[in-house]
Amino acid sequence: MSAALPARDLQLDTTGRLKHFLTIEGLRRELLERIMDTAESFSSVTEQTVKKVPLLRGKTVVNLFFETSTRTRTTFELAAKRLSADVLNVNIATSATSKGESLLDTIRNIEAMHVDMFVVRHAESGAAHFIARHVAPHVSVINAGDGRHAHPTQAMLDMFTIRKLKGGFENLTVAIVGDILHSRVARSEIHALNILGAKEVRVIGPRTLLPAAVESLGVVTCHDLDEGLEAVDVVIMLRLQKERMSGAFIPSEHEYFARFGLTGKRLSRARPDAIVMHPGPVNRGVEIDSEVADGHRSVILQQVTHGIAIRMAIMSMAMRPDREGQSGDRLA
């Protein structure tokens, strides 16, 4: 009955090619695999002395961050530069919209500078969809995190990391631990893991931090970390924001760590070869013990490295082909 296009139609063109990258939801397994395959081919680039390929030469990528970020913005910037694009960082938290300019006006103004791609982070769910719906047809939008909704490039780099270390998804049990309610990363990861065929996705946290009807996303819920870690292959820890205490979500960091903090002892309930992931930034002693964060099972820094290759893959696949027919995903 409603007029808005479903995400699927907004993200893919009529041939099924990536047009925008807004959410994992509704994408096909082959496309997710292709993103990871493409990232694989870029991994070697990032290890060369000359870390550049000319795929996006002459293209302008704008990092439009309405919320502060270090890691995500930096890896997007590096990824764009390694693809030879020109990169412009616009930090809107200190820019026009705080002077009363509307989101749409901001987009139209920057778009008028002949940009080819927006990488957008915004505090409101649906912001990337809104922008994708209003940009000119030649402009692509990559969602770098919108509210609680989605952070699809983070989910893809996590999938890439899991695939590299575990070989595949079919037999995997994955636990996502912590503040699922407010986490866009968790939502995107749950979609990705289900699409890629993981055996079981568990979400673990106190009831206050699990969203309503979370089972409908295709997960099993658990309110006890010791029980939830039983025989898992991958543990994904989420960051606990300080403001959750004042919102009456949890009583204290101390109690949270006592019940949901990942310690070496707790991790021993997981499979012996289980890996520990965290999208960062890590709150040591709140959701994870330093010993585990820096331990041999932790792949947190590899995630960051993989972020560059994954973002190169997604940007190259989503870039609209230009008049010379320079197809964005010709590596694929």
Partner 1 sequence: MSERILVKGGRVIDPASGLDGLHDLYLAEGRVVALDVPPDGFTADFEVGARGKIVCPGFIDLCARLREPGHEHKATIAGESRAVAAAGITTLCCPPDTDPVIDTPAVANLIREKAQLTGTLRVLPIGALTRGLQGRDLSEMSALRSAGCLAVGNAHAPLANTLVLRRALEYAASYDLLVVIRPEDPHLADRGCAHEGPVSTRMGLPGIPETAETVAVAQVLALMEHTGARVHFAQISSGRAVRMIAKAQADGIPVSADVAAHQLHLTETDIEGFDALCHVRPPLRGRADREILREALRDGVIAAICSDHQPHEPGAKLDAFPATAPGMASLQTLLPLALQLADEGVLTLSRALAALTSGPAAVLGLELGALRPGAPADICIFDPEECWTVGEDTWLSDGRNTPFWKKTVTGRVTHTFFSGRLAFGH
Q: Give whichever of 1 and 113 is closer to partner 1, judged by the CB atom.
A: 1
Closest CA to 26 of 41, 5, 44, 51: 5
Q: Give whichever of 104 and 258 is closer to partner 1, judged by the CB atom.
A: 104
Q: Give whichever of 211 and 280 is closer to partner 1, judged by the CB atom.
A: 211
Q: Give whichever of 87 and 103 is closer to partner 1, judged by the CB atom.
A: 103
Tokens of 56: 């996006």
How many CB atoms within 10 Å of residue 184?
A: 22
Q: Give whichever of 25 and 329 is closer to partner 1, judged by the CB atom.
A: 25
| Residue 281 preceded by cis peptide, ω within 30 | yes
Contact 320, 138 (CB under 8 A): yes
Query: Smallest distance from the beta carbon of 47 to partner 1, in angstroms?
Result: 35
Query: Smallest distance from the beta carbon of 82 to partner 1, in angstroms?
Result: 30
Contact 276, 292 (CB under 8 A): yes
Query: Smallest distance from the beta carbon of 230 to partner 1, in angstroms?
Result: 25
Containing H/E element for 143?
A: strand 140-146
Q: Give whichever of 147 and 295 is closer to partner 1, judged by the CB atom.
A: 147
Contact 232, 270 (CB under 8 A): yes
d(CA 318, CA 241): 32
Contact 97, 64 (CB under 8 A): no
d(CA 316, CA 57): 11
Query: Smallest distance from the beta carbon of 310 to partner 1, in angstroms?
Result: 21
Binding site for partner 1 (CB under 8 A): 1-7, 10, 25, 102-104, 122, 124-127, 129-130, 134, 146-150, 184, 187, 211-214, 216-217
Q: Give whichever of 14 and 44 is closer to partner 1, judged by the CB atom.
A: 14
Query: Smallest distance from the beta carbon of 70 to partner 1, in angstroms?
Result: 22
Tokens of 5: 């296009």
Query: Smallest distance from the beta carbon of 198 to partner 1, in angstroms?
Result: 18
Q: Which residues contact 329 (CB under 8 A, 6 or more apart)?
A: 17, 18, 34, 38, 316, 317
CA 208 to centroid of chain Cα atoms? 23
